[in-house]
Structure 1
């Protein structure tokens, strides 16, 4: 064999060995059950599946820390698509055809830090889409077709430092959309279709706060109106916008209810921007989320279904926007419980309620004989707790008589009734803030004819 032939044979052998080695590696990488999808490149805990025309998220090994799915044809992310990938640190989904992000799309990704979703066709994002991403630091959503954002979309991302939303179609942003992003360092909202009107003043204040703190950089530019096109949102002031303080156009009215009723408190307001309607009960803001019986209708009306005793109190509507706030008059919801109980609700301050109850029924006629005993029941509850007192018809104090006593519950007890006990008696309930009263008439008869006449009223 010549030297040239020997060299040729050596090169062929080397090429054969190299090809066999690469083939063996490929076989190992794609071995069924090894966690590497077909045609993907896998090295340790990194899986790269680029330019493969994939239309769905492939299954990968639970230990995967980097998953690269760029430049494919993925159109949707099914809820649970990344389930059990708790070690995933980086997820690249940019340059696909994703149109929406549903709730549960990133379930189990509790250690994910970097999420790339730019250059897709995303139009909508569910408010729970990013729930559970407690470790997320960077979120890239630029170059999509997003028009609106739910204000709750980013509230579960405490460690988010970078949020890119530029080059979308966002026209308006609801106040508070970025309130929970306490770790924010870079926010981009430029190159959108933002309308710079009174409704965007909250964002201008946020951007100014970022600039003053020096802890974060943010960019947002106006698209409309044309006179403000290209203007930085951070430079906008209320003086150059036509903002109107809210004004009430329809006020609520007092309401009386019995158990199980539905009651409506009307509240309508105008202003620029459109005011937010907030309802207060006993000077505390009502939460529609914690009680399914409460509903805020589109026109600002408060609807309370299946009314119960805890609903009674003082209600007030507040209309609020960036230009200011205004409140309606206070109104009272009076609750009349089961038959046999008469209640009168009285108030002089939102924090103080006084409730008077007469048992076992509203004041009514009764008969009592000379020498017998009679009890007029009167009990009261409220805040602060009320005290019970009784007077005779001319509002004079009860006589010092061992036959006459006030029971622990507040009732008036008279034993060994005499003819002189006939007359009007008034029960007063007072808590130092205000008072209410109820009146009853006792008529003492001789043998076998005794009649009690009673009436009730609220001061």
Structure 2
């Protein structure tokens, strides 16, 4: 003290009491007391300090007593006292402080005494409204210790019909006590606009005489001067008078190739919303097969179709009023494949030769033969048997050449070629 200091001097980190009274200090720079973690008492009264900036008391986590009275302080940054978690007493009287924001003291959980009044100007609260006009010196620690709201009970989804009463629960804690605001589809509900809406004392939203316009997404917001918090969104689903199911989309007969995927669409409406299920054939439950699934809309989806998936399928739509059903067929088509293929042959002139050729598929393919890309000669010596075999009787030298067997169906054609050689006698 009385050292005519104009700035804060450097002192030992072990200092516990720092007396800087009766000097000429005008400014406290951020970090001026950095690393003085052991400081217990700081006396800065009777100087010429004009403002307290953010970070002025950084690192003073163990400071209990701070004396700033009889300076020329006009403004205090709202973060100026942040970090003073041990501060118990703060003296600000006899300064020129014009106003103090409540946030200035929210970082002081242990503050017991705050003296700020003086003959020149008494600092008063401007916000929140409940403390407006109050002298800062008269505020209690509880009034300065605001808590952000926290939700303690959340609302749940609800299904309603016409004329019901619905309760959406919302409870929150905080200091000051949070205000409860309800939102529907992200817009604040105005209870004055609709007499059916009531906000109960505990924050619960009561909706009476429910109607279709009430459906939507609801959310509760708890708000105070320290902040706000929202619950998760919940849904009010409205259902009219009970009604029997009716199909919106009915399944249709569908053709599909082996290995591909197929969907039989089926969806229904009704009150309550009908449940859709499927059977195969004569009301047989669907097989437990990972390839077969029911889509969210109610359709039957089959992946990697095999021949056995073909057949009749029935879609059922059921609610507690009635059950309806509709039937469709899956027709599994298969590209032709040879099951018996002919081979090159060499025969003696005048003999008979058979070229067997058989194929499977769905629809069943038709066997056709050509020679050199042209139809077979129209004579009795070249005959295609019902099995698909090409028979040539009394072969002659001019019969020698390449023959091609084709398996033909609406979904595809496959071919295989053979060579006929004639041996002279």
* TM-score over 0.5 (shorter chain): no
Structure having the higher strand fraction is 2
Greater helix proportion: 1
